[in-house]
Structure 1
Amino acid sequence: MANKTSLPILLLVLFVFCCIQQGLSIKCWVCRSDSDPKCADPFDNTTVPITDCKQEPDLEHLPGVRPTMCRKIRQKVNGEWRYFRSCAYMGEPGIEGDERFCLMRTGTYNIFMEYCTCNSKDGCNTAWSNHGSVFASIVSLAISLRYVLVYT
């Protein structure tokens, strides 16, 4: 009987640790296409080291706020595209928590901006986000709960 209940508990503990690990620290690509053309889309990370966001400096205008997400900004100014990738200090991933969607703004003087944030995995600010690790965690939790309900 102990073996039947220990497996779901172990899976649940592993799931919690995975979630805590993802929440405490994230690594993001940090670059600007105006200084490194490989930072544009399609993104080529061969010249860009991934940055651990917990090593990023505190910001004077945001005391006590630490970066917990990655950010990708795509701007079109007077017909020229610019890309910025960095750690993000504020906001939420995507729109209403869905990383597949980005905020888009247009302005005067032929300016367009797309602002995307993510925290699903290290380096998620390459392009569209991939929810594979979150999906795998949810599936393993569901299997564990089913196992507990059926065998207890």
Structure 2
Amino acid sequence: MKSNVHVLWLFGIIGIIIIGSEAGTKWQKQDDKKPELLCYVCNSLYDTRCADPFDPYTLGYIDCNLKDPPGHLNSTLKPILCRKTVQRVDGKIRVVRGCGYIPDKRDDKECVRRLGTHNVQVTYCACKKSFCNGAHSLLTNPSISFKLGTAILLIKFTYF
């Protein structure tokens, strides 16, 4: 009977952590007609914190809806995704993160790698959720990492 109480207590704590961490973002929506698309915007050539491994807590982000599209695009285009591009030219790596305006059938799927002439390689990733251009691994997502780590600690201290 005592172990059942511990299990219920453990699941209750995990539930509170998950619900609490998700609830904090719901009030931040400003307008249902124009939802925020928050993306990291940086270039590792100018700021080494933009490179991988990426630490999203040390770098800012912007609401892409408040940013004008680049000059070479139609000014009526609206941002629809976040991008991360890794360029390798002659062994030098540059990471560029930003807002995206043109959809592609590969968005929200695996990253695409392209090889070019003269030792040029580009890996391109696009995703449609806020903050998704920070990292592309489940375990490097700050929210999931926090939840997973908390659950492991609770289980460890409850049963061992």
Q: Normalising by structure 1, what TM-score?
A: 0.63
- Distance across 1 between alignment mates of 2:95 and 2:69: 23
Deviation at 1:102, TM superposition (A): 1.4
Change (3 A) 1:118 1:129: farther
User: Percent of aligned pairs with the same residue?
Assistant: 35
- Distance across 1 between alignment mates of 2:38 and 2:121: 27
1:128 aligned to 111, 120, 136, which one? Answer: 136
Deviation at 1:129, TM superposition (A): 6.0
- Distance across 1 between alignment mates of 2:39 and 2:58: 14
Structure 2 unaligned runs (5+)? 1-28, 142-160
- Distance across 2 between alignment mates of 1:88 and 1:65: 10
CA displacement, residues 7-59 of structure 1 (integer Å, 9 cap, x when unaligned): xxxxxxxxxxx9x95x8331000000011111011102244211100111134
Does the CA contact (< 8 Å) of 2:80 and 2:103 recur in 1? no
1:72 aligned to 84, 88, 110, which one? Answer: 84
1:88 aligned to 77, 100, 106, which one? Answer: 100
Within 5 A, what are the aligned runs for 1:1-152?
24-60=35-71, 61-92=73-104, 95=106, 97=107, 99-119=108-128, 121-128=129-136
Does the CA contact (< 8 Å) of 2:49 and 2:58 recur in 1? yes
Does the CA contact (< 8 Å) of 1:100 and 1:128 recur in 2? no
RCO (CA 8 Å, sep 6+): is it higher in 1 or 2? 1
- Distance across 2 between alignment mates of 1:76 and 1:46: 25
Does the CA contact (< 8 Å) of 2:69 and 2:101 recur in 1? no
Does the CA contact (< 8 Å) of 2:68 and 2:75 recur in 1? no
CA displacement, residues 74-104 of structure 1 (integer Å, 9 cap, x when unaligned): 0100001100000111123x72x5x240121
Does the CA contact (< 8 Å) of 1:118 and 1:129 recur in 2? no
Structure 1 unaligned runs (5+)? 1-17, 133-152
Q: Normalising by structure 2, what TM-score?
A: 0.60
SS of residue matched to 1:24: coil
- Distance across 1 between alignment mates of 2:101 and 2:95: 18
Does the CA contact (< 8 Å) of 2:82 and 2:133 recur in 1? yes
Number of aligned residues: 109
